Amino acid sequence: MKRLVILILFLSTSAQAQYFQSCNEPFEPSVPSGLYEAKWEMENAQDGVEQYLRDIEEFRDCIRANYDEASESAQRVISAWEDAVQNYQLQ
């Protein structure tokens, strides 16, 4: 039973790592202090922050979707393994 739990955790972690590789975390933008910047610099910074927030939302959506796929994949493997063990015990 201990081996089954280890196998399940390994397969689940491996599947998740494989899926997460396709999600690219955006770089945080540089945020000025606001003390010495010109108006155009603040406007550019605002554009950067707004783009970052859109990008980070896409990143979170990607992680959620890939996590769900990985969980489903792990569940399929677990079910297949349980079937195999059951079939083996019937022999």
Buried b (16+ CB within 10 A) or exposed e, 72-89: ebbeebeeeeeeeeeeee
| 71 alpha-carbon distance from chain centroid | 11
- What percent of the chain lies above the pLDDT cut of 70? 77
What does the pLDDT look like over 7-45, one tens digit per residue?
666 655 555 555 456 899 999 999 999 999 999 999 999
Q: pTM for the whole thing?
A: 0.62
